[in-house]
Amino acid sequence: MSLLEDCPACGAPATRSHPVLTAPFIAAYVLERPVEPCRLMICDDCGLWFFDRRYSDAEMAKLYGNYRGDGYFEARHRFEPWYTRAFNDHLGRHPREIAARNAATLAFLDKSADRKTFTTILDYGGDSGQFIPPELVGEKFVYELSDAPCVPGVIRIADKNDFAAEGYDLVMLCHVLEHAPDPGSMLREMHSHLARPEARLYVEVPYERGCNMKFAPPKDYYRAWLKFVADMPVPLITLVDFYSSGFRDRFSVIPPLGFFKMHEHINFFDAVSLKRILEATGYHVVHCATDRRCVRALARRPA
């Protein structure tokens, strides 16, 4: 795990930070060491929030190699009892969720005043291809390392050597950048999949930032409290974690004696920071917007 102080979206030095803790599940399952302090960095230039700790390649492989499989679920449920088997198994697979996400994607593309038909479509990191809207007409591919069966009409690409040399008309990068230690490198990697002049990149990330999110002041006494929490037995850390997460989700505030935690998502985008990182990696942004749940952008390939 490495440290990052400059914003991965725009390159500016982060101007503010807040002390946080690694999530107990992440500490045990991925980092294989005790819970420890790190920092949530805030870039006032583009608005990105990001953790200063970045996952190594080995840690990314550990976290996502058997993502949401039995070992993942058992480890996470141990530290987060509220993370149930039903939630794990249905996340990203419930018909209502799939239908809602596909409808939102289509609505966004319709509002973009840009190309609306695509001959070939690639969902990069798209699980079974269930989030390629069926209404989009064209050959559909999903790049995914797991062996989950594809939905009808979608062809799996499991090896990067099998990507089409001529690229694709539409590349979808959905709910991926928030996990990426180097999101800029991932966006530059997409250049090679957008070889056609008419090609477009569709990016979707969760919007997880309360507009009035309040943190405990980064004072010495609060850092001492976090160190004390990190040394607690696992059941007590779990209780403080439950208390903290509940307040954050409900009221957009870290409560007294609570903590913000570094989990799977290490980048927190808004529309400004998503547009800035796309522009910094060579794209022309056609349309970018935020709703209550997601930030979406449609971009043209670099010239």
Angle between helix 234-251 and helix 220-230 axes, rounded to 10 deg = 130
User: What pLDDT, in 10s, does the model give residues 41-67?
Assistant: 999 999 999 999 999 999 999 999 888
For 112-168, how does the pLDDT look when each residue is reduced to its tens digit (9 = 90+)?
Answer: 866 667 899 999 999 999 999 999 989 999 998 777 789 999 999 989 999 999 999
**Are residues 50 and 104 both part of a single domain?**
no
Instruction: List Cα–Cα distances, 55 to 63, 213, 266, 280, in angstroms.
Output: 9, 25, 9, 22
In a shared domain, residues 152 and 291: yes
Residues 175, 290 within the same domain: yes
Residues 183 and 249 in one domain: no
Number of H helices, E strands in the chain: 9, 14
For residue 164, how many other CB atoms are within 10 A of its CB?
14
Radius of gyration of the chain (CA): 20
Full DSSP string of 205-223 = EE----TT-B-----HHHH
Q: Are residues 274 and 179 in the same domain?
A: yes
Same structural domain, 42 and 162? no
Contact (Cβ atoms closer than 8 angstroms) between residue 228 and residue 189: no
127 with 257, same domain: the answer is: no
Same domain for 21 and 168? Answer: no
Alpha carbons within 13 A on the beta-carbon side of 177: 34
Q: Is the pLDDT of residue 211 over 60?
A: no
Q: Could you list the residue range(s) of the whole structural domain that residue 99 is in? A: 95-207+270-300
37 has which bridge partners? Answer: 21
Is residue 288 within a helix (H) or strand (E), and if so which, with residue range?
strand 284-290
- In this structure, are 159 and 284 located in the same domain? yes
Q: Tell me, yes or no, whether 284 and 241 share the same domain.
A: no
Give pTM, 2 decimals. 0.94
Q: pLDDT tens-digit profile of 234-276?
A: 999 999 999 999 998 888 888 889 999 999 999 999 999 999 9
Number of domains the chain contains: 2
Q: Is 37 exposed, middle or buried (0-12, 13-18, 19+ CB in 10 A)?
A: middle
